Chain A
Amino acid sequence: MSTQSIPAQPLAARAPGRRRRFGLDLARPSRRHWLGYLLLAPAVLLIALIIVYPLFISLDLSFQNVGIARLDQPRRPFTLANYERLFTSAEFWMACWVTFKLLVIVTGACFVLGLATALLVNNRFRGRSIARLFVALPWAVPEVIAVVIFAWIFDSSFGLMNWLFITLGLTSQTINWFSDPDAAFAVVAITMIWKGYPFVSIMALAGLQSIPEDFYNAAKVDGANAWQRFTNITIPTLMPVLGVTIVLVMLWVFRDFSIIYVLTGGGPLKATQTLSIMTYEQAFGFFKMGYASAVGIVTLVLCVLASLLMVGRRAEAMY
């Protein structure tokens, strides 16, 4: 078995420069699986350092009465106060309600708009590759930039939307979008929908393109009309991709910070404060990091539960 037992061979002369590998020769069949561990090591290290360890810290923080997190100070005593306070606070339940509303409205609208645009540009026409590109263009606009755009469009004095509403006779005086709770919620929802639907179109288009033309031809031969082809072929074949996409959009709404925070900061009267915004506000607005961690942990648990509920045992398929 050992390399030493290899007798000198004429082969050595025949195959010049047969390289001796230095150190541990990972090419040997018996050692090759070591390489797997070796290759995973840097990722494991990095993830442990910047994800796992911080996660433990925040879990730990959520059981302490901590203002500003400092690692160089002794641990505060264990307490459930953060969670008790959380579940009895009206603000938390309000944030849950806002998150839920946003989740339903934004996800639903993104789904409809995304699927519709995908179907539209999936038709055969000249310039459709350009149209496909354009239809999903908002995907490439950074969230903060989207906020700039919509903050201006919904500006209370010279915004385009006020002008449009007045011109159309929907309202007689300018609406102050960001001081009315319902209006502010609407602006947030619209911005998120505009930013979120292209992802659905991109995924749906990819799904549509993977449906073989023969399916449709076979259905045509069988006498199916356009609507029947849509409901019997397109939707069922797209469903797996769409299911995954919906979950991903949901998770995005659940966790999104930039759009809401920059647009409204969670206001007015916390009408747009989702769990994510609440977490951040408690941590960096009021410097109650223990309490904020508790909110964050609950958010995470809800995220995981929601996605598990949506995809069930096919959880792995969503990635």
Chain B
Amino acid sequence: MKLRSSRIVLYLGVAATCAVLLFPIYWLFVTAISPPADLRSLPPRFWPDVPQWQVFSRIAEERPMLLWLTNSTLAALGSVALSMTVSVFAGYALSRFRVRGGQSLGLFILTAKMLPATLLVIPLFGIFRSVGLIGSLWSVVLAHATLIVPFTTWMLKGYFDTIPRELEQAAMVDGCSPLGALFRVILPVATPGLAATALYGFVLSWSDYAYARTFLTNAQQSWTANLGITTMKGEYVTDWNEISAAAVFVALPILVIYLFLERYLVGGLTAGAEK
């Protein structure tokens, strides 16, 4: 009997906690599908009488939502591709080779995670301005790499550390070159780790605002989703249903990745810390 009631308390506790913590997400969604009149009346309605589903198609048509999403996707894919290419090799080297200066390089990459974006953005602005990258998506691709490379290099090093060295030794005895062993054996075995790392990089890039705001503000055709959304927030009047609908568009990819691939994402997140 005591067990039963503590069970109920537990369920209630979990339900209440989730309800409170997730309410903002729910509210965003409800706001998006509420008619504007509902949003200008008190008390608030927690579910609209007539859900305005067409808001999503409307902002997709009337606002450059799809362009923003495409830009965000391109920037994320570009920066992830760039970062993964260098960090797969670097992570593998840090995991397997005793290279002179390798350790200090590793430590430097670690500290690079501490760099405030607001500091780095100033010189990057100067550099990109002089090479004419301001306003181009390439600027954020490169800038996002500064966020992603430190993470992915160490995440991948962690994954490679968990793969026994004997695997590539066996491959080399079997006739592979060291690079052949990496590509034919180690990378296939590390696929889940590679996927997790790439996803994590994608999330980092997708969530950036600072670099996009600095490099792309004057080039509307290059706006990323996060940057675009902030322009919908007016000084005096904001169409809360439209901006919320746009926000749903932007949040959805990451939420979906999280809900379905949480294991991979979190695996990457906690991999380094548990050692």
In the complex, what residues of B have CB within 8 A of residue A207's CB?
274
User: Which residues of chain A (236-259) have a CB below 8 Å from chain B?
Assistant: 241, 244-245, 251, 254-255, 257-258
- Residue in A54, A71, A138, A276 with the greatest tally of chain B CB atoms within 10 Å: A54
Contact with B along A191-204 (1 / 0, CB 8 A): 00010000100110
Chain A residues with CB under 8 Å of B39's CB are: 158
Which A164-193 residues have C-beta < 8 A from chain B? 167
Contact A33 B98 (CB under 8 A): yes
> Are B90 and A39 in contact, CB atoms less than 8 angstroms apart?
yes
Q: Fill in one digit per residue for B148-189: 1 if any A CB lies within 8 Å of its CB, else 0.
A: 010001100000000000000000100111110000000000
Bound together, the chains give a CA A19 to CA B270 distance in angstroms of 42
CB distance from B63 to the nearest CB of A (A): 14
User: A133 in the interface, Cβ–Cβ < 8 Å?
Assistant: yes
Assess whether B60 is interfacial by the CB under 8 Å rule: no
How many inter-chain residue pairs (CB < 8 Å) link A and B? 307
B113 proximal to A (CB < 8 A): yes
Give chain B residues whose Cβ lies under 8 Å from the Cβ of A135. Answer: 17-18, 21
Interface string of B82-107 (1 = CB under 8 A from A): 10011101101110111100100101
* Chain A residues near B66 (CB-CB < 8 A): none
Q: A1-9, A78-86, A142-150: which lies at the B interface?
A: A142-150
Query: A-facing mask of B105-139, CB < 8 A → 1, else 0?
Result: 10111111111111111111111011000000000
- Chain B residue with minimal CB distance to A31? B178
Answer yes or no: A107 CB below 8 A from chain B CBs.
no
Name B125's closest neighbour in chain A (CB-CB): A69
Contacts of B27 in A (CB 8 A): 149, 152-153, 160
CB of A319 within 8 A of CB of B110, answer yes
B195, CB-defined interface residue at 8 Å: no
Q: B210 — which chain A residues lie within 8 A by C-beta?
A: 257-258, 261, 280
- Among B97, B209, B243, which residue has its beta carbon within 8 angstroms of that of A39? B97
- How many of chain A's residues have a CB under 8 angstroms from any CB in B? 104
Q: Given contacts A163-B42, A304-B111, A304-B114, are A40 and B127 in contact (CB under 8 A)?
A: no
A177 to chain B, nearest CB (A): 14
Residue of A46, A72, A275, A319 most packed against chain B (CB within 10 A): A319
For the complex, would chain B's binding face be called helix, strand, loop or mixed by DSSP majority? helix
* Known contacts A40-B105, A58-B120; A142/B90 CB under 8 A: no
Q: Report whether A144 and B209 are in contact in the complex, using a CB–CB cutoff of 8 Å.
A: yes
Q: Is the CB of A117 within 8 A of B126?
A: no
Q: A55-B115, A280-B210 are in contact. Are A137 and B25 (CB under 8 A)?
A: yes
Compute how far the CA of A241 lies from the CA of B118 in the bound complex, rounded to whole angstroms: 28
Q: In terms of DSSP, what is the predominant structure of the interface of chain A?
A: helix
User: CB < 8 Å: which of A125, A152, A160, A275 contacts B7?
Assistant: A125
Q: Are B145 and A46 in contact (CB under 8 A)?
A: yes
Q: Is A115 an interface residue (CB 8 A)?
A: no
Residue B40 at the A interface, CB < 8 A?
yes
A307 and B113 alpha carbons, distance in the complex (Å):
12
Give Cα A137 to B254, complex, Å: 10
List B residues at the A interface (Cβ < 8 Å). Answer: 7, 10-11, 13-14, 17-18, 21-22, 24-25, 27-28, 31, 39-44, 82, 85-87, 89-90, 92-94, 96-99, 102, 105, 107-127, 129-130, 142-143, 145-146, 149, 153-154, 172, 175-179, 203, 206-210, 213-214, 226, 229-230, 233, 238, 240, 243-244, 247, 250-251, 254-255, 257-259, 262, 266, 269-270, 272-275
Sample (29) of A-B pairs whose CB atoms are under 8 Å apart: A26-B177, A27-B176, A32-B178, A35-B93, A36-B96, A37-B93, A40-B90, A40-B99, A42-B86, A42-B90, A43-B105, A55-B115, A61-B122, A70-B130, A71-B126, A71-B127, A137-B21, A142-B250, A149-B25, A152-B243, A163-B42, A202-B269, A203-B273, A261-B213, A279-B116, A279-B119, A300-B115, A300-B119, A316-B110
- Pairs A-B, 4 closest by C-beta atoms: A36-B97, A296-B119, A69-B126, A43-B90
For the A-B complex with A47-B149, A123-B10 known, give 9 more contacts whose Cβ atoms are closer than 8 Å: A19-B175, A21-B177, A27-B178, A47-B112, A51-B120, A54-B124, A141-B251, A303-B114, A319-B113
